[in-house]
Amino acid sequence: VISIITLLSGVLMLAFHDPKKGARDVRRITDVKELAKALSLYEAENRSYPAAAALMAITGTDTLSQALTGSGVLQKPIIDPL
């Protein structure tokens, strides 16, 4: 009986291994959707996308969300939840 309970508890611990990882993934998906909406709004207002998108590809920094925040389309820069 004890070995069965131990086996079942081990299986349950594996099933619920890291709930924080799922929460971070949901946060990332939400942030990407918010960024897509902000880009659409910026493009609708300015008839072009921000030039910071090219800088982001070159430098690897998140200048895109900073540019969208500066223009008022995005409320705050998007930060990856670690």
pLDDT, tens digit (0-9, with 9 covering 90-100), for 38-74: 888 888 888 887 765 555 544 445 667 777 777 777 7
**What pLDDT is recorded for position 60?**
46
**What pLDDT is recorded for position 24?**
83
Q: If you average pLDDT over residues 1-26, what whole number do you get?
A: 80
Residue 80 burial (CB count, 10 A) = 9
**What pLDDT is recorded for position 58?**
47
Distance CA 80, CA 45 (A): 27
Q: Comparing 82 with 59, which gets the higher pLDDT?
A: 82
